[in-house]
Structure 1
Amino acid sequence: MNLIQLVYVSRLAGDESVLQSIHSHAVRNNTAHIITGKLLYCSGRFLQVLEGEPAQVHRTFDLIKADPRHRDVTLLMEQTISERAYPHWNMGFRHVQQDDLDQYPAYKAYFQDDFAALKIQPLIALEIINNFV
Protein backbone atom coordinates (compact mmCIF):
# COMPACT_ATOMS: atom_id res chain seq x y z
CA MET A 1 0.00 0.00 0.00
CA ASN A 2 1.29 3.45 -0.92
CA LEU A 3 1.17 5.70 2.16
CA ILE A 4 2.42 9.16 3.01
CA GLN A 5 2.89 11.12 6.19
CA LEU A 6 2.34 14.88 6.06
CA VAL A 7 3.18 17.32 8.86
CA TYR A 8 1.99 20.91 8.97
CA VAL A 9 1.57 23.83 11.34
CA SER A 10 -1.08 26.53 11.46
CA ARG A 11 -2.55 29.18 13.70
CA LEU A 12 -6.00 29.24 15.20
CA ALA A 13 -8.21 31.89 13.64
CA GLY A 14 -10.61 32.91 16.40
CA ASP A 15 -10.87 31.64 19.92
CA GLU A 16 -10.45 28.25 21.55
CA SER A 17 -14.20 27.60 21.62
CA VAL A 18 -13.82 25.97 18.17
CA LEU A 19 -11.25 23.36 19.26
CA GLN A 20 -13.84 20.65 19.96
CA SER A 21 -15.48 21.33 16.61
CA ILE A 22 -12.16 21.08 14.78
CA HIS A 23 -11.36 17.79 16.51
CA SER A 24 -14.79 16.20 15.93
CA HIS A 25 -14.76 17.29 12.27
CA ALA A 26 -11.29 15.76 11.84
CA VAL A 27 -12.41 12.49 13.41
CA ARG A 28 -15.41 12.22 11.06
CA ASN A 29 -13.43 13.16 7.96
CA ASN A 30 -10.46 10.97 8.78
CA THR A 31 -12.59 7.96 9.62
CA ALA A 32 -14.41 8.29 6.29
CA HIS A 33 -11.13 8.58 4.34
CA ILE A 34 -8.98 6.14 6.35
CA ILE A 35 -6.60 8.84 7.54
CA THR A 36 -4.77 8.53 10.85
CA GLY A 37 -2.70 11.01 12.79
CA LYS A 38 -2.39 13.33 15.70
CA LEU A 39 -3.18 16.98 16.35
CA LEU A 40 -1.50 19.13 18.98
CA TYR A 41 -2.76 22.56 19.98
CA CYS A 42 -0.77 25.00 22.09
CA SER A 43 -1.12 28.74 22.58
CA GLY A 44 -3.01 29.44 19.38
CA ARG A 45 -0.93 27.08 17.25
CA PHE A 46 -1.58 23.69 15.71
CA LEU A 47 0.94 20.99 14.88
CA GLN A 48 -0.50 18.01 13.05
CA VAL A 49 0.59 14.81 11.36
CA LEU A 50 -1.69 13.11 8.83
CA GLU A 51 -1.05 9.71 7.28
CA GLY A 52 -2.78 7.62 4.67
CA GLU A 53 -3.08 7.23 0.92
CA PRO A 54 -1.62 10.25 -0.88
CA ALA A 55 -4.82 11.38 -2.61
CA GLN A 56 -6.80 11.28 0.64
CA VAL A 57 -4.12 13.04 2.69
CA HIS A 58 -3.72 15.78 0.07
CA ARG A 59 -7.49 16.22 -0.11
CA THR A 60 -7.67 16.57 3.67
CA PHE A 61 -4.76 19.01 3.71
CA ASP A 62 -6.51 21.11 1.03
CA LEU A 63 -9.63 21.21 3.23
CA ILE A 64 -7.54 22.35 6.20
CA LYS A 65 -5.92 25.10 4.12
CA ALA A 66 -9.40 26.30 3.11
CA ASP A 67 -10.83 26.06 6.66
CA PRO A 68 -11.41 29.59 8.03
CA ARG A 69 -10.55 28.34 11.54
CA HIS A 70 -6.93 27.87 10.41
CA ARG A 71 -4.56 30.54 9.16
CA ASP A 72 -0.92 30.56 8.13
CA VAL A 73 -1.10 26.86 7.21
CA THR A 74 2.47 25.76 6.47
CA LEU A 75 3.60 22.38 5.19
CA LEU A 76 6.66 21.23 7.14
CA MET A 77 7.29 17.87 5.55
CA GLU A 78 5.82 15.07 3.51
CA GLN A 79 7.34 11.63 3.25
CA THR A 80 6.51 8.18 1.98
CA ILE A 81 6.02 5.65 4.78
CA SER A 82 5.78 1.86 4.74
CA GLU A 83 3.39 1.69 7.68
CA ARG A 84 1.34 4.05 9.81
CA ALA A 85 2.85 5.46 12.99
CA TYR A 86 -0.65 6.10 14.43
CA PRO A 87 -2.72 3.15 13.15
CA HIS A 88 -5.28 3.29 15.96
CA TRP A 89 -5.93 7.04 15.95
CA ASN A 90 -8.27 8.48 13.37
CA MET A 91 -7.21 11.74 15.01
CA GLY A 92 -5.51 11.84 18.35
CA PHE A 93 -5.77 15.26 19.99
CA ARG A 94 -3.85 16.95 22.77
CA HIS A 95 -4.31 20.46 24.09
CA VAL A 96 -0.78 21.17 25.29
CA GLN A 97 -0.71 23.48 28.30
CA GLN A 98 2.16 25.62 29.56
CA ASP A 99 2.70 23.09 32.37
CA ASP A 100 3.20 20.41 29.72
CA LEU A 101 5.76 22.56 27.94
CA ASP A 102 7.57 23.14 31.21
CA GLN A 103 8.36 19.40 31.18
CA TYR A 104 9.93 19.82 27.72
CA PRO A 105 11.58 23.26 27.81
CA ALA A 106 13.46 22.58 24.58
CA TYR A 107 10.10 22.49 22.74
CA LYS A 108 8.87 25.90 23.86
CA ALA A 109 10.52 27.72 20.98
CA TYR A 110 8.71 25.51 18.49
CA PHE A 111 5.33 26.86 19.61
CA GLN A 112 6.26 30.51 19.20
CA ASP A 113 6.34 33.17 16.54
CA ASP A 114 6.15 32.06 12.91
CA PHE A 115 7.28 28.46 13.41
CA ALA A 116 10.72 29.40 12.08
CA ALA A 117 12.42 26.75 14.23
CA LEU A 118 10.15 23.99 12.87
CA LYS A 119 10.73 25.15 9.30
CA ILE A 120 14.47 24.77 9.85
CA GLN A 121 14.18 21.40 11.64
CA PRO A 122 10.93 19.79 10.43
CA LEU A 123 11.79 16.32 11.76
CA ILE A 124 11.64 17.67 15.31
CA ALA A 125 7.89 18.08 14.71
CA LEU A 126 7.42 14.29 14.82
CA GLU A 127 9.49 14.08 18.01
CA ILE A 128 7.28 16.73 19.62
CA ILE A 129 4.09 15.00 18.49
CA ASN A 130 5.29 11.66 19.83
CA ASN A 131 6.20 13.10 23.23
CA PHE A 132 2.70 14.44 23.84
CA VAL A 133 0.49 11.34 23.96
Structure 2
Amino acid sequence: MMSLIQLVYVSRLVGDESVLRSIHSHAVRNNTVHTITGKLLYTNGRFLQLLEGEPKQVHSTFAHIKQDARHSDVTLLLEQTISERAYTHWNMDFKHLSDAELEQLSAYKVYFQDNFSAFKVQPYIALEILRYCV
Protein backbone atom coordinates (compact mmCIF):
# COMPACT_ATOMS: atom_id res chain seq x y z
CA MET A 1 0.00 0.00 0.00
CA MET A 2 1.37 3.40 -0.92
CA SER A 3 1.99 6.00 1.74
CA LEU A 4 -0.18 9.15 1.51
CA ILE A 5 -0.02 12.51 3.23
CA GLN A 6 -2.14 15.63 3.47
CA LEU A 7 -0.42 18.99 3.62
CA VAL A 8 -2.34 22.19 4.38
CA TYR A 9 -0.94 25.68 4.01
CA VAL A 10 -2.01 29.32 3.76
CA SER A 11 -0.49 32.08 1.65
CA ARG A 12 -1.19 35.53 0.27
CA LEU A 13 -1.76 36.41 -3.36
CA VAL A 14 0.88 38.65 -4.89
CA GLY A 15 -0.68 40.84 -7.57
CA ASP A 16 -4.32 41.01 -8.51
CA GLU A 17 -7.00 38.38 -8.92
CA SER A 18 -6.48 38.20 -12.68
CA VAL A 19 -3.86 35.48 -12.04
CA LEU A 20 -6.28 33.15 -10.23
CA ARG A 21 -7.29 31.29 -13.40
CA SER A 22 -3.62 30.79 -14.28
CA ILE A 23 -2.81 29.51 -10.78
CA HIS A 24 -5.71 27.07 -10.90
CA SER A 25 -4.95 25.76 -14.41
CA HIS A 26 -1.27 25.32 -13.52
CA ALA A 27 -2.27 23.40 -10.38
CA VAL A 28 -4.59 21.13 -12.38
CA ARG A 29 -1.86 20.33 -14.92
CA ASN A 30 0.86 19.79 -12.33
CA ASN A 31 -1.31 17.79 -9.96
CA THR A 32 -2.62 15.51 -12.70
CA VAL A 33 0.94 14.62 -13.70
CA HIS A 34 1.99 14.00 -10.08
CA THR A 35 -1.23 12.30 -8.91
CA ILE A 36 -1.93 14.99 -6.34
CA THR A 37 -5.47 15.79 -5.29
CA GLY A 38 -6.82 18.51 -3.05
CA LYS A 39 -8.66 21.77 -2.72
CA LEU A 40 -7.73 25.42 -3.17
CA LEU A 41 -9.79 28.06 -1.42
CA TYR A 42 -9.32 31.77 -2.14
CA THR A 43 -10.81 34.82 -0.48
CA ASN A 44 -9.72 38.44 -0.14
CA GLY A 45 -6.12 37.97 -1.20
CA ARG A 46 -5.57 34.80 0.80
CA PHE A 47 -5.24 31.15 -0.13
CA LEU A 48 -5.96 28.06 1.91
CA GLN A 49 -4.90 24.86 0.19
CA LEU A 50 -4.87 21.15 0.93
CA LEU A 51 -2.60 18.88 -1.10
CA GLU A 52 -2.71 15.10 -0.81
CA GLY A 53 -0.72 12.32 -2.38
CA GLU A 54 2.59 10.51 -2.08
CA PRO A 55 4.96 12.40 0.25
CA LYS A 56 7.69 12.97 -2.36
CA GLN A 57 5.21 14.46 -4.85
CA VAL A 58 3.40 16.61 -2.27
CA HIS A 59 6.67 17.96 -0.85
CA SER A 60 7.95 18.75 -4.34
CA THR A 61 4.74 20.59 -5.22
CA PHE A 62 4.83 22.53 -1.95
CA ALA A 63 8.46 23.52 -2.61
CA HIS A 64 7.40 24.93 -6.00
CA ILE A 65 4.53 26.86 -4.39
CA LYS A 66 6.94 28.41 -1.86
CA GLN A 67 9.09 29.61 -4.79
CA ASP A 68 6.11 30.87 -6.85
CA ALA A 69 6.24 34.68 -7.11
CA ARG A 70 2.42 34.79 -7.06
CA HIS A 71 2.42 33.58 -3.42
CA SER A 72 3.86 35.26 -0.34
CA ASP A 73 3.80 34.39 3.36
CA VAL A 74 3.47 30.68 2.57
CA THR A 75 2.84 29.05 5.94
CA LEU A 76 2.58 25.32 6.56
CA LEU A 77 -0.32 24.61 8.93
CA LEU A 78 -0.55 20.86 8.99
CA GLU A 79 1.02 17.74 7.56
CA GLN A 80 -0.34 14.32 8.39
CA THR A 81 -0.30 10.75 7.15
CA ILE A 82 -3.67 9.61 5.78
CA SER A 83 -5.04 6.19 4.89
CA GLU A 84 -7.15 7.46 1.97
CA ARG A 85 -7.69 10.64 0.01
CA ALA A 86 -10.42 13.07 0.98
CA TYR A 87 -10.55 14.52 -2.56
CA THR A 88 -10.46 11.48 -4.83
CA HIS A 89 -12.28 13.18 -7.72
CA TRP A 90 -10.40 16.48 -7.79
CA ASN A 91 -6.89 17.01 -9.02
CA MET A 92 -7.51 20.51 -7.62
CA ASP A 93 -10.95 21.67 -6.61
CA PHE A 94 -11.11 25.47 -6.53
CA LYS A 95 -13.48 27.72 -4.62
CA HIS A 96 -13.36 31.53 -4.76
CA LEU A 97 -15.26 32.72 -1.70
CA SER A 98 -17.02 36.03 -2.23
CA ASP A 99 -17.33 38.61 0.56
CA ALA A 100 -20.96 37.55 1.01
CA GLU A 101 -19.99 33.88 1.33
CA LEU A 102 -17.27 34.79 3.83
CA GLU A 103 -19.87 36.70 5.85
CA GLN A 104 -21.91 33.48 6.01
CA LEU A 105 -18.85 31.83 7.56
CA SER A 106 -18.59 34.41 10.33
CA ALA A 107 -17.03 31.92 12.75
CA TYR A 108 -14.16 31.44 10.29
CA LYS A 109 -13.56 35.03 9.16
CA VAL A 110 -10.84 35.59 11.76
CA TYR A 111 -8.76 32.85 10.14
CA PHE A 112 -8.41 34.89 6.95
CA GLN A 113 -7.18 38.03 8.69
CA ASP A 114 -3.88 39.41 9.91
CA ASN A 115 -0.95 37.02 9.63
CA PHE A 116 -3.01 33.82 9.80
CA SER A 117 -2.20 33.62 13.53
CA ALA A 118 -5.56 32.01 14.34
CA PHE A 119 -4.73 29.13 11.96
CA LYS A 120 -1.37 28.71 13.65
CA VAL A 121 -3.14 28.23 16.98
CA GLN A 122 -5.81 25.88 15.58
CA PRO A 123 -4.52 24.31 12.34
CA TYR A 124 -7.22 21.61 12.23
CA ILE A 125 -9.81 24.36 11.68
CA ALA A 126 -8.36 24.59 8.16
CA LEU A 127 -9.64 21.07 7.40
CA GLU A 128 -13.08 22.01 8.73
CA ILE A 129 -13.20 25.13 6.55
CA LEU A 130 -12.11 23.20 3.45
CA ARG A 131 -14.79 20.54 4.05
CA TYR A 132 -17.48 23.17 4.67
CA CYS A 133 -16.73 25.25 1.56
CA VAL A 134 -18.07 23.05 -1.21
**TM-score normalized with structure 2 length:** 0.98
Residue 12 of structure 1 deviates from its aligned partner by 0.2
Equivalent residue, structure 1, for 2:82:
81
Residue 75 of structure 1 deviates from its aligned partner by 0.2
In the TM superposition, what whole-angstrom CA distance separates every residue of 1:5-42 from its partner, at most 9, and x where no partner exists? 00000000111000000000000000000000000000
Equivalent residue, structure 2, for 1:15:
16
Task: Number of aligned residue pairs: give it.
Answer: 133
Equivalent residue, structure 2, for 1:42:
43
In the TM superposition, what whole-angstrom CA distance separates every residue of 1:78-120 from its partner, at most 9, and x where no partner exists? 0000000001000000001111112111011011110000010
**Structure 2: which 5+ runs fail to align?**
none
Residue aligned with 1:94, SS: strand
For 1:29, give the aligned amino acid: N
RMSD: 0.5
Within 5 A, what are the aligned runs for 1:62-81? Answer: 62-81=63-82
* Distance in 2 between residues matched to 1:105 and 1:124, nearest whole Å: 13
% identical aligned pairs: 72
Equivalent residue, structure 2, for 1:127:
128
* Distance in 1 between residues matched to 2:47 and 2:65, nearest whole Å: 11
For 1:2, give the aligned amino acid: S
Runs of 4+ in 1 over 4 A off after TM superposition: none
Equivalent residue, structure 2, for 1:109:
110
Residue aligned with 1:88, SS: coil
Residue aligned with 1:56, SS: helix
* Distance in 1 between residues matched to 2:105 and 2:7, nearest whole Å: 23
For 1:74, give the aligned amino acid: T
Residue aligned with 1:105, SS: coil
**TM-score normalized with structure 1 length:** 0.99
For 1:102, give the aligned amino acid: E
For 1:43, give the aligned amino acid: N
Equivalent residue, structure 1, for 2:60:
59
